[in-house]
Amino acid sequence: VDIARLLKSFSHILRLLENVDYVRSFVRYNNKRRSGPPRGVRAATRCVIARDAGRTRADAAGIQQFCVYFAQGCCTAGPHCQYLHRAPTEQDTVTLARDHSRDCFGRDRARHDKDDRKGVGSALRDCRTLFVHYGGAGGLSASEVQQLATENFGEWGRIRKVYVVPAKTLVFVQYEARCSAEFAKEAMQAQGLTGSGAGEVLEIKWANDDPNPGVVRQVKRRRKCLCEP
Ligand SMILES: [Zn+2]
């Protein structure tokens, strides 16, 4: 038996395996038909930043893309993941704001929102507000929902404002940074509000406009800036 040849083919196999790993993660991130749980069913996993966050290969390689599976609490790659396993920080906000064509997970943004406002979000509209339907928890008072939403959504980034519309079981959550809103949208989709005790399943979309008049003016100003070349 030629040992040198055996070793060579062994290292060749190792390299092939590495490629398989890369191809698999590439396919995962480009699979547009990825479907979540059916409507009205809670997601099977949830991210807990304090428990799950940690360094990955992306930190060493200086990659500025967050792991969407980490946000959903279901990444199995752990420290070997090619994407970041943490929530966006103030520093990331500055870096990510330079590129309007992709979201914080590296997914292409469309020029305009999809009709159902569920997708990645628009490249032209700097939306930081989430439209959250909390149907099952309609028995809670507005101040209870305000409190729970602030606690639950505060895990993913700094919140500017929480605005509850109890008559429609809606809550609008506005973040300081767009990447925090993007991360929270993935992290809280089909989750419940921890501490509510009701069986609500959150349904999250991009807010059309925040009903608060001050925010409407802000959004208009920002849109104008983004649309001007
Ligand atoms: Zn990951």
Render pLDDT for 17-72 as a digit per residue (tens, 0 to 9): 877 766 776 666 655 545 566 778 899 999 999 999 999 999 999 999 999 999 99
Specify the pLDDT at position 82.
Answer: 96
Q: How confident is the model at residue 172 (pLDDT cuts 50, 70, 90)?
A: very high
Number of domains in the chain: 1
Could you tell me the distance, in angstroms and rounded to a whole number, from the CA of residue 4 to the centre of ligand 1?
Answer: 36
Could you tell me the distance, in angstroms and rounded to a whole number, from the CA of residue 187 to the centre of ligand 1?
Answer: 13
Could you tell me the distance, in angstroms and rounded to a whole number, from the CA of residue 100 to the centre of ligand 1?
Answer: 23
Residue 71 forms part of a structural domain: no
Name the residue range of residue 142's domain: 129-227
Residue 173 forms part of a structural domain: yes
Q: How far apart are the first and last CA of the chain?
A: 67
Residue 30 forms part of a structural domain: no
pLDDT digits (tens, 9 = 90+) for 114-171: 666 777 777 666 789 999 999 888 889 999 999 999 999 999 999 999 999 999 999 9
Single-letter code of the amino acid located at 126: D
Could you tell me the distance, in angstroms and rounded to a whole number, from the CA of residue 27 to the centre of ligand 1?
Answer: 14
Residue 10 forms part of a structural domain: no
Q: How confident is the model at residue 3 (pLDDT cuts 50, 70, 90)?
A: confident
Residue 46 forms part of a structural domain: no
Residue 215 forms part of a structural domain: yes
Residue 29 forms part of a structural domain: no
| DSSP codes joined into one string, the chain | --HHHHHHHHHHHHHHHHHHHHHHHHHHHH-TT---SPTTS--S----HHHH-B--HHHHHT---B-HHHHTT----GGG-SSBBS---HHHHHHHTT-SSB-TTSPBPBSS--TTS-SS-BSS----EEEEE-GGGTTS-HHHHHHHHHHHHGGGS-EEEEEEEGGGTEEEEEESSHHHHHHHHHHHTT---TT--S----EEEE-SS-SSHHHHHHHHHHHHHHH--
Could you tell me the distance, in angstroms and rounded to a whole number, from the CA of residue 45 to the centre of ligand 1?
Answer: 14
Which residues have C-beta within 8 Å of that of residue 93, sequence separation ≥ 6? 176, 177, 178, 179, 180
Single-letter code of the amino acid located at 7: L
Could you tell me the distance, in angstroms and rounded to a whole number, from the CA of residue 82 to the centre of ligand 1?
Answer: 7
Specify the pLDDT at position 216.
Answer: 62
Which residues have C-beta within 8 Å of that of residue 225, sequence separation ≥ 6? none
Distance CA 202, CA 185 (A): 10
CATH number, domain with residue 177: 3.30.70.330
Could you tell me the distance, in angstroms and rounded to a whole number, from the CA of residue 128 to the centre of ligand 1?
Answer: 24
Residue 133 forms part of a structural domain: yes
